[in-house]
A and B are shown apart, each in its own frame.
Chain A
Amino acid sequence: GENVEQHPSTLSVQEGDSAVIKCTYSDSASNYFPWYKQELGKGPQLIIDIRSNVGEKKDQRIAVTLNKTAKHFSLHITETQPEDSAVYFCAASAGNQFYFGTGTSLTVIP
């Protein structure tokens, strides 16, 4: 089955700096890669996603890149703000099954 690894597990950045979270996957059949943000006491919320026919996607301060050959994908958050502090999960999907990374706890220091 698919195996998704996510790094780092914790990340602290100064407000205004960039944050990068990296994931790798093992199954070349995976073709859909969503990213979720989970705030305390809430369920994960989709923040951006990318499909395997696209190498990069950007939405305001958030961008995701995908390297299918290396089976890597990354989340980039620029100009971080305190409200970006949360746990972020990557996922890889083939068909209707989703495989999640173990999460990255991001802290943005004001």
Chain B
Amino acid sequence: GAGVSQSPSNKVTEKGKDVELRCDPISGHTALYWYRQSLGQGLEFLIYFQGNSAPDKSGLPSDRFSAERTGGSVSTLTIQRTQQEDSAVYLCASSSVVVGSPLHFGNGTRLTVT
């Protein structure tokens, strides 16, 4: 497809379980971002990947959160030992290498921790 694809679109998990969220960026986009959006709130930056550079992990809220990007394309955000406060929409965005290019967002994964 032409846009950013995220899966699953919805995920319900029990507290304490691990979850993996997937992001397929737009082909050719070297920059990839993860954001978290709690109900009715703004966009909280989590992590940023740019090409083969070390990722900017400065937004990850705890060591239970991690992300990887394999082959410079698909990214996976992993949350270990989920807590109820992790419930949110997790948005992925990608952009081209050109500075000042806009972010293109996927429709997000809605995570509910029961």
The answer for the CA separation of A49 and B102 in the assembled complex, in Å, is 8
What class of interface size applies to chain B in its complex with A? 20 to 34
The answer for the CA separation of A97 and B101 in the assembled complex, in Å, is 11
Within 8 A of B (CB), among A47-98: 49, 51, 89, 91, 93, 95-98
Looking at the assembled complex, report how far the CB atom of A76 sits from the nearest CB atom of chain B, in whole angstroms.
Answer: 19
Write out the residue numbers on chain A whose beta carbons fall within 8 Å of the beta carbon of B41: 102-103
Q: Are A95 and B99 in contact (CB under 8 A)?
A: yes
Q: Are B42 and A102 in contact (CB under 8 A)?
A: yes
| A46: Cβ under 8 A from any B Cβ | yes
**Given A31-B100, A96-B31, A96-B50: A89 touches B43 (CB 8 Å cut-off):** yes
User: Which residue of chain B has its CB nearest to the CB of A102?
Assistant: B42
Q: Are B100 and A100 in contact (CB under 8 A)?
A: no
Q: Are B105 and A100 in contact (CB under 8 A)?
A: no
What class of interface size applies to chain A in its complex with B? 20 to 34
Q: Are B100 and A93 in contact (CB under 8 A)?
A: yes
Among B48, B100, B105, chain A packs the most CB atoms within 10 A around the CB of B100
| B26: Cβ under 8 A from any A Cβ | no
| Residue in B31, B33, B42, B104 whose CB lies within 8 Å of A103 | B42
Looking at the assembled complex, report how far the CB atom of B103 sits from the nearest CB atom of chain A, in whole angstroms.
Answer: 6
The answer for the CA separation of A82 and B95 in the assembled complex, in Å, is 30
| Residue in B43, B99, B107, B108 whose CB lies within 8 Å of A96 | B99
Which 8 interchain pairs have the tightest Cβ spacing? A43-B105, A102-B42, A32-B100, A100-B43, A43-B107, A46-B102, A34-B102, A44-B105
Chain A residues in the interface with B (C-beta under 8 A)? 31-32, 34, 36, 41-46, 49, 51, 89, 91, 93, 95-98, 100-103
Chain B residues in the interface with A (C-beta under 8 A)? 4, 31, 33, 41-43, 45, 48, 50, 56, 91, 93, 95, 99-100, 102-108
